[in-house]
Structure 1
């Protein structure tokens, strides 16, 4: 995924982009997966969720100064809206994402 699309292009999206820096060996990363699936189901095409395996994208991990996994970030229009290591609750992420959703006229 990241080989074909540059990170800088991904984060320019008009809709919110939730990025999950994870590792396959990371237990908390795997327990967080159902929350990501529920968010995608709830918000559908109003958000993008991108999972980045830190072991396969070392250059990006260094550039982004990712110090631990999981680390989550929310970008919109190229701007970092929020980011933190750890496993936030679904409710916390819903509250971060809702104000960023496109409004319907």
Structure 2
């Protein structure tokens, strides 16, 4: 999990998306996250985390539902929600922390 600390200890907002390819709603979020990342450019990071490959992290953060989305800035969680979101909503949420 030390890599996780490095990911979130940044001045840029970091949008984390916890997903599993076996989960339909998670798969539907992939193009939405790509669009959000393209819109935000270098102003923020968008990172997808596969819960099947990162079970320890998902358990530590109590990720129960998929997809689960979180925004971190300076190592602190600023926002969290489970369920699908559209790209515009995600971009606006991240912009609040620029």
**Taking structure 1 as the reference length, what is the TM-score of the superposition?**
0.86
Q: Provide the C-alpha distance between the structure 2 equivalents of 1:41 and 1:50, rounded to a whole number of angstroms.
A: 12
Quick check: 1:46 aligned with 2:52? no
**SS of residue matched to 1:36:** helix
Q: Provide the C-alpha distance between the structure 2 equivalents of 1:92 and 1:51, rounded to a whole number of angstroms.
A: 17
- Can you give the 5+ residue segments of structure 2 that lack an aligned partner in the other structure? none
Between Structure 1 and Structure 2, whose CA radius of gyration is higher?
A: 1
- Can you give the 5+ residue segments of structure 1 that lack an aligned partner in the other structure? none
Compute the displacement of 1:90 (Å): 2.0
**SS of residue matched to 2:71:** strand
Q: Deviations over 1:15-67 (max 9, x none)?
A: 01000100011111111111111111111111111111101111111100000
Quick check: 1:19 aligned with 2:16? yes
In the other structure, the counterpart of 2:88 is: 91
**Structure 1 runs of 4+ with >4 Å offset:** none
- CA RMSD of superposed structures (Å): 1.4
**Taking structure 2 as the reference length, what is the TM-score of the superposition?**
0.92
In the other structure, the counterpart of 2:4 is: 7
| Number of aligned residue pairs | 98
Q: Provide the C-alpha distance between the structure 1 equivalents of 2:56 and 2:27, rounded to a whole number of angstroms.
A: 23
Q: Provide the C-alpha distance between the structure 1 equivalents of 2:49 and 2:94, rounded to a whole number of angstroms.
A: 19
Aligned match for 1:82, one of 60, 79, 90? 79
